[in-house]
Homo-oligomer: A and B are copies of this chain.
Amino acid sequence: MINLAIIEDNIEYRNALSKILQRNSNIYVMHEKGDCTEMIPYFEVDLPDVVIMDIDLPEISGIEGVWQLKQKWPDLKVLMLTVFEEAEKIFGAIKAGANGYLLKKDPPDKILEAIFSLQNGESMMNGIIAAKVMEYFKKQADAAPKMEAYHLTEKEKEILNKLIQGLGYKQIAHECSIARETLNTHMKNIYRKLNVHSRGEVAARFGGHFNNL
């Protein structure tokens, strides 16, 4: 038996959804409200297993709502159910801690499947959403400069790594067990190979992307 809550300000849609989901005998909709703030007191008393959350809500948005709920109850599972397919909303919701993201055009069966998945610690994304998420990943990977292309030696990679961690020359030299002056030589070579002329450029162009040692 899964206890559900629905936060959705369109009352007709909310009622319909509630009714349809409860056709499944394992689902019980314990709370339904049109606004996060209004819902929280009920959660204090009776915490559901899964929350279905709209995004376009009065007072505070569903994205802010997820964040607040997750702060209070990190194990609560939240399924976003909205019409929005924009990257901003999607990534906002995910970063806020949403466990699933479906679109209102998804069929009720999909929503049920999502509820059970979330309850199991799994996630569920609409196919369009999933495509955007995967595309985002791939873009990041493509944008990452390919270190191999720069023919850095092992030592140079080691130093570069520490460089973009923000360490000073003294510190780096010490950690790499080489003299400050030797580090100078390496720096010259690294800058030449990477075609940069300052630490700032290194950090900007290779910072973050260099976990690919």
Contact = CB atoms under 8 A, between A and B. Distances in A.
Interface of A: 91, 94-95, 97-100, 117, 120-128, 130-131, 133-134, 137-138, 140-141, 163-168, 196, 198-205, 207-208
Instruction: Give me the 3 closest cross-chain CB pairs, A-B, nearest first.
Output: A122-B127, A203-B203, A166-B204
Counted per complex, copies of this chain come to 2
Contacts of A123: 125, 127, 130-131, 133-134
Contact of A200 (B97, B131, B199): B199
B200 A166 contact: yes
B204 A137 contact: no
Contacts of A97: 138
A133 B101 CA distance: 13
A208 B205 contact: no
Contacts of A125: 123, 125, 130, 134
Contacts of A165: 200, 204
A120 B128 CA distance: 9
A91 B120 CA distance: 22
A167 B123 CA distance: 41
A97 B138 CA distance: 6
Contact of A137 (B95, B128, B141): B95
Given A95-B141, A123-B127, A200 B167 contact: yes
Contacts of A133: 123, 133-134, 137
Nearest to A122: B127
